[in-house]
Amino acid sequence: MSSRREFIKSSGLLMGASLTTAPEDLFAAQKKKMSGAGSLKLRFRPYILNLKHAFNLATSSRTTTPVVLTELEYDGVIGYGEASMPPYLGESHETVTKFLSKVDLSKFDDPFEMENILRYVDEIEVGNRAAKASVDIALHDLVGKLVKQPWYKIWGFDASKTPLTSYTIGIDTAEVVRQKVKEAAPYKILKVKLGRDTDKMMIETIRQITDKPICVDVNQGWKDKSFALEMAHWLHERGVIFLEQAMPKEQIDDNAWLTERSPIPTVGDEAVQRLDDVLKAHQVYHGINIKLMKCTGMREAHKMLTLARALNMKVMMGCMTETSCAISAAAQLAPMVDWADLDGAVLISNDVYKGAEIINGKVTLKDLPGIGIKKI
């Protein structure tokens, strides 16, 4: 562990560096065309996502997810955003709408001042990451529409390089697990939630039906490092390709111990929320799971991706249960990641947008401006 601490100490200057460069020429050209009479107007409304199946994790179960849908308008152009609040984030309709009511964008008359705008939003209060993400996503969508380009093109990414996405199977009975595996037929990779005393049953049930690659997410459900290592070997023998957040994030040394010995890559999820967590995760996990709702949105997600790559870490792009708005926003980064878990919109029955799709198990981007969505 001493080498990891020394690396973090010696790399501290990275945290103060800007990890993204705005495409100034593209933005400047469009700014000349704008009337200059516009102002940024933020609107938002609460919404409830209905899940097709109960979502069972190591420590919780739910059938709905609260979200807040945002709109950011400038000069007649509207950008769409979203805050999704699963319970562990500690946010709710009340906290998000309260935070968004404090956001005063009247001081900004230029949407291309993205760094200044999003820094202001981030500094209003500590926390409220999903609420901040809803503004960030809407601003990215708006600016992409103003320059008439999707963000994956603005960032210089190749849409053909998007990975396969996994389909999530929550903890359940053997009968329901079989049903979910059948529903996941179009997907090439399965993501399985573990962390209870039914772990081996879950995997064995799936293996009775399919030999597709599996990734597992324990959601901090295992507490003992020796047990976690034993399970890592057992899972490896059954075609599991990586192990996500096996133990509580506070057990830093235990997670690092597991990473040194695991036959499959380990991924930090709950342990990696924002940019400054990426350095802390180096040598504790093989990779990180970036989610827009954890890190305040696309701006910081891009910075996390850049830093993780500089550290030679694996990167996964994940999601909560979300509409196609937030999924499409996250998908703009998908061409640069190793793994994707962007099935959040297919797990709900009342989406309100159409955007990035899963075709033959692959994240497929639309050649539409902004984050590439349309209202249904």
Q: Is the pLDDT of residue 312 over 60?
A: yes
Mean pLDDT of 4-11: 48
All CATH 3.20.20.120 domain ranges in the chain, comma separated? 153-375
Q: Is the pLDDT of residue 22 over 60?
A: no
Q: What is the pLDDT of residue 201?
A: 97
Q: What CATH homologous superfamily does 153-375 map to?
A: Enolase-like C-terminal domain (3.20.20.120)
The hierarchical CATH code for the domain 10-152 is 3.30.390.10
Summary mean pLDDT of the chain: 91
All CATH 3.30.390.10 domain ranges in the chain, comma separated? 10-152
Q: What is the pLDDT of residue 153?
A: 98
pLDDT digits (tens, 9 = 90+) for 126-171: 999 999 999 999 999 999 999 999 999 999 999 999 999 999 998 9
Q: Can you tell me the distance from the alpha carbon of 213 to that of 166, in angstroms, rounded to the nearest whole number?
A: 9
Q: What is the pLDDT of residue 28?
A: 60
| 10 — pLDDT class (breaks 50, 70, 90) | very low
3-class DSSP state for residue 242? strand
DSSP single-letter state for residue 110? -
Please say whether the beta carbons of 43 and 71 come within 8 A: yes
pLDDT digits (tens, 9 = 90+) for 269-286: 999 999 999 999 999 999
Q: What is the pLDDT of residue 336?
A: 97
Give Cβ neighbours of residue 151 (< 8 Å, ≥ 6 apart). Answer: 140, 144, 298, 329, 332, 370, 371
% of the chain surpassing 90 pLDDT: 84
Annotate 182-238 with DSSP letters as a single string: HHTTT-SEEEEE--STTHHHHHHHHHTT----EEEE-TT----HHHHHHHHHHHHTT
Q: Does the model's pTM come out above 0.95? A: no
Mean pLDDT of 67-87: 95
Give Cβ neighbours of residue 364 (< 8 Å, ≥ 6 apart). Answer: 162, 356, 357, 358
- Residue 156's Cβ-count burial label (10 Å; 0-12, 13-18, 19+) is exposed
Q: What is the pLDDT of residue 126?
A: 95
Q: What is the pLDDT of residue 21?
A: 47
Q: What is the pLDDT of residue 242?
A: 98
Q: Is the pLDDT of residue 76 over 50?
A: yes
Q: Is the pLDDT of residue 18 over 50?
A: no
Give Cβ neighbours of residue 179 (< 8 Å, ≥ 6 apart). Answer: none
User: How many CA atoms within 13 Å lie on the side-chain side of 329?
Assistant: 35
Q: Can you tell me the distance from the alpha carbon of 181 to that of 205, in angstroms, rounded to the nearest whole number?
A: 10
Q: What is the pLDDT of residue 32?
A: 53
pLDDT digits (tens, 9 = 90+) for 24-73: 666 665 555 555 557 899 999 999 999 988 777 666 678 999 999 999 99
Element (H, E) at 361: none
